[in-house]
């Protein structure tokens, strides 16, 4: 009577599905039509599934080529992500070293030119003879004189006179005398 009121537990049902029927379960199934129907339905469904899925898998597996130990990847390490990471690092390092070396070489090439420029700047001017110095000074004085002489020309040319009476240039005085 007790078996009829409390149905099979999940654990008992699992045992039943696995094909083991303890005495208590067997007795309950004989007495309880609800549990025996349930067990029959589930067992049948699982049996059909097991059968059909096995046939499906066998058929599917048979349609595929059998694995061959010789047909393994040529470079198995290429299929590992670590290999790609290592390769990327190696490329980055090589590129970095290359750029550094190139900069270093170009800096070394440029160095003599810079040094020569520095030497050229630092080179003392050759000493001039006193006669050359005198001639240069005379030339410079002559140029200065010419420039001073032309200083007031634009003002006189355009009829402009200086407002300050006392201050008259040499050239303006000369022009007024004429």
Whole-number Å distance between alpha carbons of 2 and 28: 9
Nearby residues of 13 by Cβ (< 8 Å), 6 or more positions away: 38, 39, 42
Min separation Cβ 76 and other proteins, Å: 8
Min separation Cβ 44 and other proteins, Å: 6
| Contact yes or no for 156/137 (Cβ under 8 A) | no
Considering the complex, state which of residue 57 and residue 88 has its C-beta at the smaller distance from other proteins: 57
- In 3D space, the residue among 12, 34, 44 whose CA is nearest the CA of residue 25 turns out to be 12
Considering the complex, state which of residue 24 and residue 44 has its C-beta at the smaller distance from other proteins: 44
Whole-number Å distance between alpha carbons of 150 and 174: 13
Within the chain, strands assigned E span none
Considering the complex, state which of residue 47 and residue 96 has its C-beta at the smaller distance from other proteins: 47
Considering the complex, state which of residue 31 and residue 44 has its C-beta at the smaller distance from other proteins: 44
Min separation Cβ 37 and other proteins, Å: 7
Whole-number Å distance between alpha carbons of 61 and 87: 37
- In 3D space, the residue among 81, 104, 100 whose CA is nearest the CA of residue 92 turns out to be 100
Question: For binding to other proteins (CB under 8 A), which residues are involved?
Answer: 10-11, 13-14, 17-18, 37-39, 41-42, 44-46, 48-62, 64, 66-69, 72
Considering the complex, state which of residue 40 and residue 107 has its C-beta at the smaller distance from other proteins: 40
Min separation Cβ 26 and other proteins, Å: 18
Min separation Cβ 48 and other proteins, Å: 4
């Amino acid at each position: 009577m007790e078996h009829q009121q409390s149905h099979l537990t999940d654990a008992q049902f699992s045992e039943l599905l696995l094909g083991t029927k303890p005495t208590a379960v067997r007795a309950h199934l004989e007495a309880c039509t609800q549990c025996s129907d349930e067990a029959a339905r589930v067992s049948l469904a699982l049996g059909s599934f097991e059968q059909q899925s096995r046939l499906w898998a066998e058929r599917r597996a048979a349609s595929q080529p059998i694995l061959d130990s010789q047909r393994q990847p040529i470079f198995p390490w290429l299929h590992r992500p670590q290999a790609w990471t290592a390769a990327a690092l190696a490329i980055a390092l090589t590129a970095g070293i290359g750029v550094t070396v190139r900069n270093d070489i170009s800096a070394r090439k440029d160095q003599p030119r810079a040094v020569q420029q520095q030497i050229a700047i630092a080179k003392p001017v050759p000493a001039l003879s006193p006669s050359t110095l005198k001639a240069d000074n005379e030339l410079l004085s002559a140029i200065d004189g010419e420039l001073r002489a032309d200083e007031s020309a634009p003002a006189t040319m355009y009829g402009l006179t200086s407002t300050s009476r006392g201050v008259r240039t040499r050239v303006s005085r000369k022009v007024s005398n004429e």
